[in-house]
Structure 1
Amino acid sequence: MWSLAALVIGFGIDLLVGDPHGFPHPVVLIGKCISVLERALRRICPKTPAGERAAGVILWGAVVIVSTAVPAGLLWLCGLVSPWLRLALESVMCWQILAVKSLRDETMKVYDALVSGDLAASRHAVSMIVGRDTDRLDDAAVTRAAVETVAENTSDGVVAPLLFLAIGGAPLGFFYKAVNTMDSMLGYVEPPYKNIGLVPAKADDVVNYIPARLSALLMLAAGGLMGLDTAAGWRIFRRDRRKHASPNSAQTESVCAGLLGVRLAGDAWYHGVLHKKEYIGDASREITHEDIPRVCRLMTVTAILTLLLSCGVKLPFAL
């Protein structure tokens, strides 16, 4: 019951406050831990494909153990003092694991730059939330990149963390964030990450397999509540959900493309290398700037539905 209450409180704080600039964030610490271990293991392990893959296994295990054990230990210690102290700490942890408002705020910076006609500023703003190269993007491509990242991150930045928090409280939430952060930092197919990032990337695929598909269904339901084209959302989901190198990324992207009636994905540059990608969705109409606030609203409604589902499933077991 305490963990469920912490989840609801943390979700509310995230919607209201987001991630204030300058406020200490544990995910930043996880990222620094990954960077330090990566440098150390590259020095220690053999500089061969097998040696780098072994380094990736060691790194993954170490980061996951630390990221899960530290919050679990802190919550246990607080619980010895007072259940209310534990509730307060776990609420803060849940807040920092979630990213609804921060993703919306960062994406709306792209929108603001686009509507003001500042392409350079919009490229810079979108570079803060996507992994692709942005210096070649035109107005429509910047808009598409922003919509895509919100659609994809609805799963791994919103729905999946909520599900892990509902199942195992803040420790399991931090387990998920550690897995996801390692994939974001190391899960690339180009050198120097191809080998050391293999296990982190595959682990992220496994951990997100069920949440990604549940996210797609919840997004479809959210689209229905918003009056969007759910028939097209379902059709494009069934047709295009496998059109991505990752088994998970196109799940919510395909639903979003169908709901909005736009075409997403396509070729993109990463670290100076062109990656050929299939399009997702039909170009029923041209993508517009207004699709950015529209997809942000879709993400928020999906998040609320996920919270309600999590509470509805867990509450009988918490009583």
Structure 2
Amino acid sequence: MIFHIIAFAAGFILDLIFGDPVYPFHPVRLIGKLISLAEKIFYHKGDSPAKKRFFGILTVFFVCAVTEAIVLSVLISFFYINKIAFCMVEALFTWQILAAKSLKDESMKVYRALEEGTLDDARHAVSMIVGRDTENLTDEGVTKAAVETVAESTNDGVIAPMIFCALGGPVLGFFYKCINTMDSMIGYKNDRYIDFGRAAARTDDFVNFLPSRLAALLMMVACFFGGKDFSFKNAIHIFRRDRLNHQSPNSAQTESVVAGALGLQLAGPLYYEGKLEEKPYIGDFVRAPEHKDIKRSVFLMYTAAILCQIICIGILFFC
């Protein structure tokens, strides 16, 4: 257990210092290629909706099974070679599962573009982290998009994978990344994926159900460490009212906390591939968004991550 705790903490520290490493054989990038391969094997345009759903289930099992087999093989091999080497490999894997610093870096690129560059620069920067159309976003629209991304990704990129790594090391950590990556690639409600991607989307909803709510709770607590810029009381109010204002049962959990804590109105109607999608608002319009709200959302994300790390290590140490 002590080796797991050391590796778990070391992976988090490596992420805080260096961010998610970028190289061709990054495990999550390889998982993405595996998902693309599975889609080529299992997706057939002419299949009936029932067949597409069946092959979508097979895709989830195939991607998870292959990934878990490889991760287990690597970890078991190093465990029998040397426990210190095993600990190092677990730390390196954990590092590549978490994405706190990368989330901060990408959102701060948007902040700097808003502060120092042109609106087009800011639109381009935010287009790297959101799926919505960005070419016509206003200054406030760009700011809101960055804040929403940090809020939602606090769970997907930080808290949920951290919890899974704490519970089962990289084995469960990469299981989570498989599900989350599949959802981001094939979990859409469009003509191609409405049936084929249903299993991936539903599984992602399931594995994120508890972590997203814990992430929201941690972000509420984080308000206490931020001073007058954050409203703990309003974060609770908006969370209780708007936490389900999203197609996903999980996405608005953290977003509602951030909206309430900062006094912003987030979400609402958005354009995707030129089509307007009517979405409910999250939060009340207490004030207009300002560039520093991006920094404030990052503060909530980082504080929640540190709190989650402390809690996980405490539980692992005393259990």
Asked if these proteins are the same fold (TM beyond 0.5), I'd say: yes
Question: 1:69–1:171: 8 Å Cα contact kept in structure 2?
Answer: no
Partners of 1:59 and 1:273 in 2: CA distance: 29
- Indicate conservation of the 8 Å contact 2:20/2:98, yes or no: no
Counterpart-to-counterpart distance in 2, 1:186 and 1:146:
23
Corresponding residue of 2:21 = 20
Amino acid across the alignment from 1:230:
F
Whether the 8 Å CA contact 2:212–2:250 is kept in 1: the answer is yes
Q: Which runs of 5+ in 1 are unaligned?
A: none
Distance in 2 of aligned mates of 1:16 and 1:93: 15
Maintained 8 Å contact 2:21/2:96? no
> What is the alpha-carbon distance in structure 2 between the residues aligned to residue 271 and residue 315 of structure 1?
48
Tell me how far 1:273 sits from its aligned partner.
Answer: 2.3
**1:182-197 matched pairs, under 5 angstroms:** 182-197=182-197
One-letter amino acid of the structure 1 residue matched with residue 25 of structure 2: P
Q: Answer whether contact 2:19 2:100 (CA < 8 A) is retained.
A: yes
Distance 2:275 2:36 in 1: 23
Aligned equivalents of 1:98, 1:248: Cα separation in 2: 19
Q: How does 1:172-251 map to 2 (within 5 A)?
A: 172-227=172-227, 228-251=230-253
Separation in 1, partners of 2:61, 2:122: 38
Q: CA–CA distance in 2 between the matches of 1:143 and 1:24?
A: 33
Matched to 2:209, the amino acid is: Y
Q: State the AA in 2 paired with 1:149.
A: T
Matched residues in 1 for 2:193 and 2:200: separation?
10
Residue 4 of structure 2 aligns to a residue in which SS?
Answer: helix
Q: Does 1:41 align with 2:42?
A: yes
Instruction: For 1:19 and 1:314, locate their aligned partners in 2 and report how far apart those are by CA, in whole Å.
Output: 24
**Alpha-carbon deviation of 1:46?**
5.2
Aligned to 2:267: 265
1:302 aligns with 2:311: no
Native 8 Å contact 1:213 1:248 kept in 2: yes
| Deviation, structure 1 residue 117 | 4.0
State the Cα distance separating 1:116 from its structure 2 match: 2.0
State how far apart, in whole Å, the 2-side matches of 1:92 and 1:294 are.
29
Q: Distance in 1 between matches of 2:68 and 2:317?
A: 24
Q: Encode CA deviations 1:191-236: one digit per residue, 9 max, x unaligned.
A: 2111111110011001100001111001100111212210000000
Shift of 1:186: 0.8
Query: Which runs of 5 or more residues in structure 2 are unaligned?
Result: none
With the length of structure 1 as denominator, give the TM-score of the two structures.
0.96
Provide the rounded CA distance (Å) in 1 between the counterparts of 2:22 and 2:173: 22
Q: Residue type of the partner of 2:22? A: H
Please state whether the residue corresponding to 2:190 is helix, strand or coil. coil
Match of 2:286 in 1: 284
Residue 10 of structure 1 aligns with which residue? 11
Q: Distance in 1 between matches of 2:304 and 2:10?
A: 18
| Structure 1 position 181, deviation (Å) | 0.3
Q: Within 2, Cα distance between the matches of 1:8 and 1:284?
A: 39
Letter in 2 for 1:278: P
| CA-to-aligned-CA distance 1:273-298 (integer Å, 9 cap, x gap) | 22101110111111011101111111
Write the distance in 1 (CA, Å) between the matches of 2:223 and 2:102.
Answer: 21
Q: Which SS does the other structure have where 1:269 is aligned?
A: strand
Is 1:30 the counterpart of 2:43? The answer is no
**CA shift for structure 1 position 272:** 2.7
Is the 8 Å Cα contact of residues 46 and 52 (structure 1) preserved in structure 2?
no
1:3 Cα offset (Å): 1.6
Distance 1:173 1:264 in 2: 30
Counterparts of 1:66 and 1:226 in 2: how far apart (Å)? Answer: 43
SS of equivalent residue, structure 1 residue 274: strand
Please give the per-residue CA displacement for 1:81-100, whole angstroms capped at 9, x wherever unaligned.
00001001000000000000
In 2, Cα distance between equivalents of 1:24 and 1:39: 21
Q: CA deviation at 1:14?
A: 0.2
Fraction of identical pairs, as percent: 48
Partner secondary structure for residue 32 of structure 2: helix
